[in-house]
Amino acid sequence: MFKQIMKDKYASAALIILVIMYLMVLFADFIAPYSKDFADRNQSYAPPSKVFVIDENGRFSRPYTYNYKREYIPELYQTVYTLDRSQKYYINLFNRGEEYKFLGVFKTSRHLFGVENSGRLYILGTDINGRDVFSRLLFGGRISLTIGFLSLFILFPIGLIYGGISGYFGGVVDMLMMRFAEAVMAIPSFYLLIILAAILPSNMTSTQRFTLIVVILALIGWSGFARVVRGMVLSIKNEEFVLAAKTIGASRLRIILKHILPQTSSYVIIAMTLSVPSYILAESGLSFLGLGIQQPDASWGNMLKEAQEYINILYRPWLLTPGFLIFIAVLSFNLIGDTIRDILDPKGQIRE
């Protein structure tokens, strides 16, 4: 399948982009010049650092940057950042910065790039608390790009087993189970999502919150999936190999798990790749509203929250970068999902 994906121009580009994104997120500690909590209170909403390669004498030089000086201009009622040209800060590769554990294994303080301790390098500016947006994008990506996957790994087993049981047993069991699933589907999903997120107690640690958001996202999507699985089980359960298993004396659970459900695998793969993006969007929407991942943790959705204010979007466009990343990630997943569907289901037999 991998070869077939690489044959498609768009899908292979999307796959490469996603691999780069996940690698960057995985090595966030190393690539980001700062940690996600590093804050310089004097540099709130500082614009992106200017990087120079030609020095004041017009000669090429190693890339360097200047720090920003914050001044309040009373006549304009504005805070203005100007370059403090008194001191140059050269950008160093493998710069020594804050200490962290590389991939959780060994301690180091080398970062891919950065400037000396007293200098500041913000390639995408800073947020209201003076935290580096670029670094937080990388750490936020860890949450935004994984939360959807984790939910899917809860949702799909539930949907498979629920749909499997409902379809195989039939009769009253089927009717009751399906009415319940339909009722869950009848509640507008986003309304349910915000309500479930809002009743979470506020005194949780960020890990607990993350886990519960994963569970909530899973609770939203299982019903539609279970219904499709049930439909497929209904048509599979009268096939001869099921009858054969019955005659041998296999238990009903074994028949469902071992004989029937594996038949739905291509649908499951298609549905999974196609639904990753909607979970990324759901998480970011939730965090954007302030109901998902909370500060000081970063996620692309909650970083965009600051872009809700007019002043910010007009004068601080770098705060919009998380939105573009969500867009690129979702687009890439969609392109790959489409291609996988074309490969596994060339005739479009599987209908959602």
Partner 1 sequence: MNILKYILKRIVQVIPLLFIVSIISFFIIRLSPIDPLAELRLNPSISQETLQKETQRLGLDKPIPVQYVKWASAFVKGDLGITSSGEKVSDKLKERIPNTLLLTSIVIFMTWIVGIPLGILGAMFHKSQFDRLLTIFSSIGMAIPSFFFAILLLIFAVKTSLFPVGGLTSFDFDEMSLGGKVLDLARHLVLPVTVLFTISLAGLQRQMRANMLEVMESDYVKFARAKGLSEFKVIFKHALRNALNPMITLLGFEFAGLLSGAALTEYVFQYPGLGRLILEAVMKSDINLVMASLMMGSIMLVLGNLIADILLIITDPRIRN
- Chain residues in the site for partner 1 (CB under 8 A): 179-180, 182-184, 186-192, 194-196, 198-199, 201, 277, 281, 284-285, 288-291, 304, 307-308, 310, 313-314, 320, 323, 326-327, 330-331, 334-335, 338, 348
What phi and psi, each to the nearest 5 degrees, are found at residue 203?
A: -95, 30
| Closer residue to partner 1 in complex, CB, 192/257 | 192
6/187 with CB nearer partner 1: 187
> Is the peptide bond preceding residue 296 cis, with omega within 30 degrees of 0?
yes
* Smallest distance, partner 1 to C-beta of residue 196, A: 7
Number of CB atoms found within 10 A of residue 245's CB: 17
**Dihedral, 35, 325, 152, 104 alpha carbons, nearest 10:** -20
Angle of helix 189-198 versus helix 206-236 axis, rounded to 10: 150
Q: What is the Cα–Cα distance from 342 to 266, expressed in whole angstroms? A: 11
Residue 55: CB minimum distance to partner 1, A: 36
Closest to partner 1 by CB, 145 or 256: 145
* Minimum separation from the CB atom of position 137 to partner 1 (A): 14
Cβ of residue 36: shortest distance to partner 1, in angstroms?
Answer: 22
CB nearer to partner 1: give 97 or 221. Answer: 221
**By C-beta, is 108 or 189 nearer to partner 1?**
189
Exposed / middle / buried, residue 58 (Cβ in 10 Å: 0-12, 13-18, 19+): exposed
Sign, CA torsion 230/234/237/240: negative
Identify the burial level of 287 via C-beta atoms within 10 angstroms of its C-beta, where 0-12 means exposed, 13-18 middle and 19 or more buried.
buried
Contact 217, 282 (CB under 8 A): yes
Find the shortest distance in angstroms from Cβ 166 to partner 1.
15
For residue 180, the minimal CB distance to partner 1 (Å) is 6
Query: What is the spatial order of strands in the sheet that 51-54 belongs to?
Result: 51-54, 60-73, 78-90
Question: Minimum CB separation from partner 1 for residue 62, in Å?
Answer: 36
Q: How far apart are the first and last CA of the chain?
A: 22
83 or 195, CB closer to partner 1? 195
| Residue placing its CB nearer to partner 1 in the complex, 76 or 186 | 186
Shortest Å distance, C-beta 335 to partner 1: 6
Tokens of 290: 């302030």
- How many angstroms separate the CA atoms of 102 and 27, rounded? 8
User: Nearer Cβ to partner 1, position 25 or 220?
Assistant: 220
Q: Taking the alpha carbons of 98, 103, 107, 110 in that order, is the dihedral positive or negative?
A: negative
